[in-house]
Amino acid sequence: MGIYLNPGNKGFQRAVRSEIYVDKTGLIAFTNKCLNTEQQNICVSRPRRFGKSMALNMLAAYYSRGCESAELFRGLKIESDKSFLEHLNRYDVICLNMQQFLIRARDQEVTAYVERAVIEELREAYGDLFPERISILSEALERIYVRTQKEFIFLIDEWDCVMRERRESETLQKQYLDFLRDLLKDQPYVALAYMTGILPVKKYGEHSALNMFREYSMTDQRALEEYTGFTEEEVRTLCEQYEMNFAEMSSWYDGYRFKKFRHVYNPKSVVEAMICQDFSNYWTSTEVYDALKIYIDMDFDGLRTDVVQMLGGGHVRVNTHSFRNDMHTFETKDDVLTLLIHLGYLAYDAGKKEALIPNKEVMEEFENAMSVSGWSRVMCVLKDSEKLLADTLCKDADSVADGLDRAHSQVASILTYNDENSLGCAIGLAYYSARKDYQLIRELPAGKGFADIVFLPLPHTDKPALVVELKYDKTADSALMQIRDRRYTQALEGYSGKILLVGINYDRDEKNKPHSCVIESVEK
């Protein structure tokens, strides 16, 4: 076993022996199907701390020649797959962490450093099969293949770090892309290439010719949705095992949405919450909020409106196809939103082509970033939201209306009331602090329609549920009547206790006091 050639199974051993290990070995069955096919080049992009390196360690343990990994996979999902024994420890694996190479190369050429390091190990195993003069990695591998017919599997971690951390050096980027293209494209010695990073591979100007890769990104994970994070079933099982409340776990870490798996959880945060027995900001604490602040402060038309809508629980339409897949070329607000999706700060509903803030943990990161920037009016609304909730729970309808008037005056320059949907985003923002004790649900199917906003209390609180209906240029009484007539309280399945029915109307012609409110209490 070597550092880069057949690195062994120790990395995966650590994962399996950890206090919490969630079995994702089904990914191996997928890569086995891709071996020596037109789909053998795979690029998986996900946010940091979403299990990318663990997956590579797992693949290295499974494929690396010279390892004895059968016992390590005992009882895991892949063991029962028909392809398990066929490919177990049958390949030479070349495993590259480009982040390490970038750090160690310093002033040297990164690609030359990679080639020199890997060729040194190849000489130990196959030195008699290629001449001493060869310094190009692809050439050495070609010679080995011609003489032995042995195929290699390439596992490349942090593939995009050159693009992210040397964004100003187009020469280095071109050289690096040329190196990967020569190493992997149409080479007979390649049985599988599996790369991971934060960004997808395409659209780096004219040097986007890594087009042999099939991409699995946060805008479309395709068949790899199940392996992107923890699924709802996996989190439920962990919550039972660690006696943690599932509803609260969901409000903190759920929210990444794909076509099949509509509830994907942040794995880093779930594991830390289980071990620490506490809900907190575990994923976002691994990076300062300055990174988020830079992007949400960009002055693209409509970007601030979109951020405010999402803070209010709304979704915004986004075109992800114009993004150039780098961290500095932005032409529209959609480019910024798409980058935030790839970084994990936004979730993406591929079916609806909409972006949203996924959960409480990420929402607090937005709040932190905005608190030190030019978002003072929005921050005033957030600070006033605790009083608004208290007035609502006291059924002080006049004070609620006054509070909504003040909130509207603060964000009117950013968020314009055009219809009940934009009004709903503004109301969600005005009730921002409620998310400490409530799960906010927009457009919840209920009775004979959809309740505009439902605040479902989390288990740790004894607060009543809230069902909010919004009207635009009508009356608050008509909003309350709709809640009753359409039986929206039926949406609160499994909930018993007090429910506050809140009817809110916005009258655009009323300049002094545009909001009106009525509140009624019922039992379920």
E-strand ranges in 275-397 read 316-317, 347-349, 354-356
Residue 192 and residue 246 share a domain: no
Q: Beta-carbon neighbour count of residue 317 at 10 Å?
A: 11
Residue 398 and residue 263 share a domain: no
**pLDDT for position 73:** 97
Instruction: Report DSSP letters for 158-186, one per residue.
Output: STTHHHHHSTT-HHHHHHHHHHHHHHHTT
Q: Which residue is listed with tokens 């509903």?
A: 349
From residue 276, alpha-carbon distances to 17, 107, 244, 270 in Å are: 18, 42, 11, 10
**pLDDT for position 524:** 81
**pLDDT for position 382:** 94
**Which secondary structure element, helix H or strand E, spans residue 246, and what is its range?**
helix 246-253
E-strand ranges in 251-398 read 264-265, 316-317, 347-349, 354-356
Sequence-distant (≥ 6) Cβ neighbours of residue 204 within 8 angstroms: 163, 173, 177, 324, 325, 326
Distance CA 312, CA 437 (A): 16
Tell how strand 264-265 and strand 347-349 pair up. Answer: unpaired
Q: Is residue 242 part of a domain?
A: yes
Q: Is 358 helix (H, G, I), strand (E, B) or coil?
A: coil
Are residues 273 and 244 in contact, defined by beta-carbon separation less than 8 angstroms? Answer: yes
Residue 157 and residue 247 share a domain: no
Distance CA 49, CA 51 (A): 6
- Provide the angle, in degrees to the nearest 10, between the axes of the packed helices 376-393 and 397-411: 170
Q: Which residue is listed with tokens 């206090």?
A: 19
Tell how strand 41-45 and strand 214-216 pair up. Answer: parallel
Sequence-distant (≥ 6) Cβ neighbours of residue 115 within 8 angstroms: 135, 136, 137, 179
The residue from 373, 393, 410 where one domain ends is: 373
Distance CA 369, CA 380 (A): 14
The whole domain housing 438 covers 376-523
Residue 92 and residue 70 share a domain: yes
**pLDDT for position 209:** 62
Q: Is 220 helix (H, G, I), strand (E, B) or coil?
A: strand
From residue 160, alpha-carbon distances to 118, 156, 245 in Å are: 19, 10, 37
Token couple for 2: 């070597």
- The amino acid occupying position 460 is H
Residue 289 and residue 210 share a domain: no
Residue 27 and residue 159 share a domain: yes
Distance CA 78, CA 84 (A): 6
Angle at the Cα of 217 (from 97 to 195), degrees rounded to 5? 25
**pLDDT for position 421:** 75
**pLDDT for position 172:** 86
- Rounded to 10 degrees, the C-alpha dihedral 223/227/232/237 comes to 140
Residue 395 and residue 489 share a domain: yes
Q: Is residue 1 part of a domain?
A: no
Q: Is residue 3 part of a domain?
A: no
Q: Is residue 46 part of a domain?
A: yes
Q: Which residue is listed with tokens 């505009």?
A: 452
Residue 127 and residue 90 share a domain: yes
Sequence-distant (≥ 6) Cβ neighbours of residue 302 within 8 angstroms: 333
Residue 382 and residue 464 share a domain: yes
Q: Is 425 exposed, middle or buried (0-12, 13-18, 19+ CB in 10 A)?
A: buried
Q: Beta-carbon neighbour count of residue 272 at 10 Å?
A: 20
Q: Is residue 142 part of a domain?
A: yes
**pLDDT for position 288:** 59
Q: Could you list the pLDDT tens digit for every one of the 524 residues in the chain?
A: 789 999 999 999 999 999 999 999 999 999 999 999 999 999 999 999 999 999 999 999 999 999 999 999 999 999 999 999 999 999 999 999 999 999 988 767 899 999 999 999 999 999 899 999 999 999 999 999 999 999 999 999 999 998 888 877 878 888 898 999 999 999 999 999 999 999 888 655 554 568 899 999 999 999 999 999 999 999 999 999 999 999 999 999 999 999 999 999 999 999 999 999 999 999 987 665 677 888 999 888 889 999 999 999 889 999 998 888 778 788 899 999 999 999 999 999 988 999 999 999 999 999 999 988 789 999 999 999 999 999 999 999 999 999 999 999 998 878 877 777 778 888 999 999 998 899 888 877 766 667 788 999 988 788 999 999 999 899 999 999 999 998 888 878 778 889 999 999 999 888 788 999 999 999 88
CATH number of 190's domain: 3.40.50
Q: Is residue 151 part of a domain?
A: yes
Are residues 229 and 361 in contact, defined by beta-carbon separation less than 8 angstroms? Answer: no
Residue 246 and residue 172 share a domain: no
Distance CA 355, CA 308 (A): 12
Residue 155 and residue 210 share a domain: yes
Token couple for 311: 């803070």
- The amino acid occupying position 316 is V
- Maximum CA extent, the chain: 88
Q: Is 25 helix (H, G, I), strand (E, B) or coil?
A: coil
- The amino acid occupying position 20 is I
**pLDDT for position 242:** 97
- The amino acid occupying position 74 is R
Residue 112 and residue 20 share a domain: yes
The residue from 325, 353, 373 where one domain ends is: 373
Distance CA 421, CA 430 (A): 14
Give strand pairing partners of 153.
93, 192
Are residues 365 and 284 in contact, defined by beta-carbon separation less than 8 angstroms? Answer: yes
Q: φ and ψ at 316, to 5 degrees?
A: -125, 140
Nearest to 255 by CA among 356, 341, 180: 356
Q: Is residue 4 part of a domain?
A: no
SS (H, E, C) 191-204: EEEEEEECCCCCCC
- The amino acid occupying position 277 is Q
Question: What is the domain count for the chain?
Answer: 3
Token couple for 462: 């004894």
Q: How many helices (H) and strands (E) does the chain have?
A: 20, 15
Q: Is residue 5 part of a domain?
A: no
Token couple for 411: 């964000």
The residue from 303, 338, 373 where one domain ends is: 373
Distance CA 105, CA 109 (A): 7
